[in-house]
Amino acid sequence: MTKKRVGVIRGGPSAEYEVSLGTGTNVLSALHFRHEDKYVPVDILIDKSGIWHVDGAPVEPDNALRRVDIIVNALHGTYGEDGKVQRLLEAHGMPFTGSGSLASAVAMNKILTKEVAKKHGIKSPYWKEVSSDRVKTDPEAAANEVFTTFLLPAVIKPAASGSSVGVSIVKDRAGIADALIAAAGHGHAIMIEEFISGIEATCGVVESFRGQQLYALPPIEIRPKTAFFDYKAKYTPGMSDEIVPARFADEIKREIESLAAKVHEVLGLRHYSRSDFIIHPRRGIYFLEVNTLPGLTDGSLIPKALRAVGSDTHELVDHLIRLALQ
């Protein structure tokens, strides 16, 4: 059997560069040590300035893609998760893991995602949009507008970013301007979102896995030791308790699994995804956002859910490659 040359794209120009390196390293490890009989791994590193490298040497993207049969997309955030690299791969007719360019672009934009969710009856916190340019021009005026038109506390976040980069919770007028400025540094639009008090949860889904068209992994209960599940809580060991299987009532777990599968379906996502939720004790489950390229680092959530059902990242990587080759 001829081995497939599998390019693993990692790094990239986003704020999630380090996370992507970790995901890519684990994918390469799976290819090297568990699937060496089927695949030849090719490490494709994109540095922070956007330059592609193969075997440590800078190359044009066209040159890199000519060396492989398929791409595992291990990027996160800007360029890797927003449809840009997907458009490049589609233009080359290159099979790749993860969602296509249009679905990626929509899912990366939290506002567009909420609009699609609302259309399909998926409940999410109330929100409004603020222009980053307006914040950069006059942050105090923008802050005053938010204060006079939106109930506090509120969550202020970039409309298109991941790993909770640039996200703040504001409880009073004094913190709004700084939160807006922090979010404005990560995109053209900012989302002001109703703060829902409750328990955070996340749930991954994998297509055509274990005999199911959309297989929902066990929901994970998240108990951050910070104000919320921010970048520090996600990637610093000991900064959050991530409990899998979650301790919710069976009815709640089933609803989370159903919602995660529905989000994946209505957004037209592909291969796998992970949706985040918050559970209010009286108002029920709210959908927050979706991740179309969930992290596969040692501390990431999808690997923890996989282990809870007797699987692992190595099995997932092989499964995703086979889906992409189909």
- Contacts of 140-149 with CB under 8 Å at 24 or more apart are 140/177, 142/177, 142/180, 143/173, 143/176, 143/177, 143/180, 146/176, 146/180, 146/192, 147/173, 147/176
Average pLDDT over residues 33-59: 95
Residue 319 lies in a domain: no
Residue 318: pLDDT over 70: yes
Q: From CA 229, how far away is CA 225, in angstroms rounded? A: 8
Q: What is the pLDDT of residues 56-102, one digit of tens each?
A: 899 999 999 999 999 999 999 999 999 999 999 999 999 999 999 99
Average pLDDT over residues 283-294: 96
Residue 163: pLDDT over 60: no
Residues 166 and 234 in one domain: no
Q: What is the pLDDT of residues 151-161, one digit of tens each?
A: 999 999 998 87
With contact defined as beta carbons under 8 Å apart, do 228 and 168 qualify? no
Residue 284 lies in a domain: yes
Which residues, other chains included, contact 227 with Cβ-Cβ below 8 Å and sequence gap of 6+?
A: 169
Residue 317 lies in a domain: no
Residue 174 lies in a domain: yes
pLDDT at 240: 79
Q: What is the pLDDT of residues 200-230, one digit of tens each?
A: 999 999 999 999 999 999 999 998 776 654 4
Residue 178 lies in a domain: yes
Range of the domain at 144: 127-194
Q: From CA 8, how far away is CA 311, in angstroms rounded? A: 21
Q: pTM (2 decimals)?
A: 0.90
pLDDT at 235: 47
| Tokens, residue 13 | 């120009």
Q: What is the pLDDT of residues 166-187, one digit of tens each?
A: 889 999 999 999 999 999 988 8
